[in-house]
Amino acid sequence: MTELTDLGVAGIRDGVRDGSFTAREVADAFIVKVSQAKALNAFLVETPEHAIAAATAADTAREAGETLKPLAGVPIGMKDLFCTKGVATTAASHILEGFTPTYESTVSQNLWDAGAGMLGKLNMDQFAMGSSNETSAFGNVISPWKRNDGGNASLAPGGSSGGSSSAVAARLCPGATGTDTGGSIRQPAAFTGISGIKPTYGRCSRWGTIAFASSLDQAGPMARDVKDCAILLEAMAGFDAKDGTSLQLDVPKWEAGLSANLNGLRVGIPKEYRVDGMPEEIEALWQQGIDWLKDAGATIVEVSLPHTKYALPAYYIIAPAEASSNLARYDGVRYGIRDLPTGAGLQDMYAATRADGFGPEVKRRIMIGTYVLSAGFYDAYYTQAQKVRTLIARDFEKAWETCDVLLTPTAPSAAFALGEKSADPIAMYLNDVFTVPSSLAGLPAMSVPGGLDKQGLPLGLQIIGKPLDEQGVLNAGLAIEQRAGFTARPEAWW
Amino acid sequence: MSVDTATVKRIASLARIAITDEDAARMAPELGNILGWIEMLGEVDTTGVEPMTAVIPNTLRLRDDVVNADPLTGGNIREQVLANAPVAEHGFFAVPKVIE
């Protein structure tokens, strides 16, 4: 029999439903895996009691002959950006050490209401700012993958949802939550050979999710295949009156709507995404992806998104500007740490607390945000960036006149080694070159694994869809998944 | 774009982040590089373009004017509000003396 921890979300859900195994057996198996994987540093807090309680509820409901909830018996990992009632939540920052939320985020509550259990809180880049998980105040997350060159370099799991990607790829949980501001679900999914989808902005409530850049932040699932992503997203999404930007729309039945038949679908290939210096293997995989989609019945059209190269600089004005405002709340008064130097006044307490509590990347972004919003610079930087954002969104609207989804690589490289890029912020920011434009336009986008590079590391393909067309994105992802036959998995060394 | 140490210290002060001279000197070229990079936006012609305010068309809702309609965002939860405060006294957040 397959090991229970090799099963995905659908396999566990169906097996619990038909009595092949109990939810408790599943929970116990994953709890052991989590406890044995400390070397990955994927979990900040382990919550076996939460997973067991949900499993027991599922088993009891089954014995009583009740209809099981959609995620009954499925234990998941929860990114530490989501507030979880009674369970420490820090966004991987020292400044929130000791914070135990007295309420539950909408997204996590939705998952618990659907019957899921929590294995623990997942490590991440501090306040979701990073692309390698090296900005966590609680240590780097290590990717379960290794290069096949015989070296033993520790690789980045991507970021900011690096605990999520590492844990799912290492089979410590069948699925996990992530959040995506400029690529934080898709890039880590690509780096670790798993799938992840960022829905349309407004599909998932932001209530109770620690804010980074509010006009961009969206929650989404990360799992090993497209179907599992569809199942989890259905549970996570939904209207929430507590979030002013939540979309008042019913959640589509994405799982039931899955179809890899792409007859009549027009797939756009944006020519501006052929960037200089892109590794040949990524170029080749992109072409392979085009062929797979053709094979599934799609027609291919070249499109132009002329403002693509301005997306990253616009993002690095807008996101830090919003962050500098959002993170003003960490002042040592209401939650988290307080640093009160002897004899200090209120202002000195704020400054000392924030100097002590924020990591270097968070400080860097708050400072950039403060600068671009400061008197005399606001129009030149912030207003100009928001205008460029309008032009980027228009590029996509124009593209939708001739195509239905876009296919691009997810990231410009495979996973790099820890430390390789951390000295140069701009080199790190460039990781998000393919994911940021769709974030700025609020579009649904997902990464699916396409293959391995010469070093044996996963590479991902990204599908970007029209607003609210998660189904189109998932279906194109499914067509790629079926043809890629990606079965590679990291060998357990941890 | 060059950013000097005095500018870094001014921004840090606006952002309420204490900074040493050494850190300010280290950050000056770093911020200069990043700001220099994002300045390429200046070359985009945005004449007549409205700044983006909402990515997905949406309307702002007003909730019903009912007290505690949703207990999660309602009132009368003082203990919960104060539960994570570094210092809370007499049912309030406590801070160092502000008025002499």
Looking at beta carbons, which residues of chain A come within 8 Å of B93? 333-334
Mean pLDDT within A311-317: 97
Q: How far is CA B76 from the centre of its chain?
A: 27
Distances (CA, A) of A291 to A399, B67, B75: 20, 58, 58
Give the Cα separation of A216 and A1 in Å (integer): 43
Looking at beta carbons, which residues of chain A come within 8 Å of B18? 348, 351-352, 354-355
Distances (CA, A) of A276 to A182, A413, A482, B41: 21, 12, 30, 20
pLDDT digit string, tens, across residues B20-75? 999 999 999 999 999 999 999 999 999 999 999 888 888 888 888 888 888 888 88
- pLDDT value, residue A1: 53
Of A396, A394, A486, the closest CA to residue A445 belongs to A396
Residue among A349, A371, A388 whose CB faces B96 most closely:
A349
Query: Cβ contact (<8 Å) for A345 and B61?
Result: no
Query: Cβ contact (<8 Å) for B56 and A334?
Result: no
Indicate which residue of A93, A131, A160, A422 is catalytic. A160
Query: Cβ contact (<8 Å) for A366 and B55?
Result: no
**A160: pLDDT strictly greater than 80:** yes
Mean pLDDT within A138-147: 98
Query: Cβ contact (<8 Å) for A242 and B27?
Result: no
Residue A2, class by beta-carbon neighbours within 10 Å (0-12 exposed, 13-18 middle, 19+ buried)? exposed
Q: Does the predicted interface ipTM exceed a cut of 0.90? A: yes
pLDDT digit string, tens, across residues A429-486? 888 999 999 999 999 999 999 999 999 999 999 999 999 999 999 999 999 999 999 9
Looking at beta carbons, which residues of chain B come within 8 Å of A366? 15, 17
Indicate which residue of A33, A79, A198, A421 is catalytic. A79
Give the Cα separation of A336 and B68 in Å (integer): 27
CB pairs under 8 A between A and B: 166
Mean pLDDT within A98-109: 98
The interface residues of chain A toward chain B in range 317-336, judged by CB-CB distance below 8 A, are 317, 324, 328, 331-336
The interface residues of chain A toward chain B in range 51-70, judged by CB-CB distance below 8 A, are none
A384 touches chain B (CB under 8 A): yes
* Alpha-carbon distance B37 to nearest alpha carbon in chain A (angstroms): 7
Q: DSSP per residue over B50-99, as a string?
A: PPP--SS--------S-TTSSGGGSS--HHHHHTT-SSEETTEE--S---
Contact residues for A244 (Cβ-Cβ < 8 A; gap 6+): B60, B61
A85 touches chain B (CB under 8 A): no
Looking at beta carbons, which residues of chain B come within 8 Å of A334? 84-85, 93
Coil vs helix vs strand at A82: strand
- pLDDT value, residue A6: 97
As beta bridge partners, residue A460 has A449
Looking at beta carbons, which residues of chain B come within 8 Å of A385? 38, 41
Domain extent at residue A364 = 1-494
Q: DSSP per residue over A88-151, as a string?
A: ---TT-GGGTT---SS--HHHHHHHHTT-EEEEEEP-SGGG--SSS---TT-----S---TTS-
> Cα-Cα-Cα-Cα dihedral of A228, A220, A54, A124, to 10°?
120
The interface residues of chain A toward chain B in range 190-209, judged by CB-CB distance below 8 A, are 200-202
The interface residues of chain A toward chain B in range 448-487, judged by CB-CB distance below 8 A, are 467
For chain A, the straight-line distance linking the first and the last C-alpha, in angstroms and rounded, comes to 23
A344 touches chain B (CB under 8 A): yes
* Alpha-carbon distance B52 to nearest alpha carbon in chain A (angstroms): 5
- pLDDT value, residue B98: 86
Query: Cβ contact (<8 Å) for A245 and B58?
Result: yes
Q: Where are the alpha helices (DSSP H) in A303-424?
A: 311-326, 346-357, 360-373, 378, 384-399
Please, what are the domains in chain B?
5-42 (1.10.20)
Of A359, A313, A349, A371, the closest CA to residue B8 belongs to A371
- pLDDT value, residue A469: 98
Q: Are A157 and A133 in contact (CB under 8 A)?
A: yes
pLDDT digit string, tens, across residues A330-367? 999 999 999 999 999 999 999 999 999 999 999 999 99
- Which of A83, A84, A85, A102 is best to mutate for the B interface (most B CBs within 10 A)? A102
Q: Lowest mean pLDDT: which of A132-141, A380-389, B54-63?
A: B54-63
Tell me whether residue A184 is one of the annotated catalytic residues. Answer: yes
Q: How many domains does chain A have?
A: 1
The interface residues of chain B toward chain A in range 4-43, judged by CB-CB distance below 8 A, are 8, 11-19, 27, 30-31, 33-35, 37-42
Q: Please, which pLDDT band fits residue A276 given cuts at 50, 70 and 90?
A: confident
Element (H, E) at A232: helix A226-236
A368 touches chain B (CB under 8 A): yes
Least CA distance to B80: which residue of chain A? A102
- pLDDT value, residue B64: 83
Q: What is the mean pLDDT of chain A?
A: 97
Contact residues for B28 (Cβ-Cβ < 8 A; gap 6+): B3, B4, B5, B7, B8
pTM assigned to the model? 0.97
The interface residues of chain B toward chain A in range 47-76, judged by CB-CB distance below 8 A, are 49-56, 58, 60-61, 63, 70, 72-73
pLDDT digit string, tens, across residues A291-303? 999 999 999 999 9
- pLDDT value, residue A108: 98
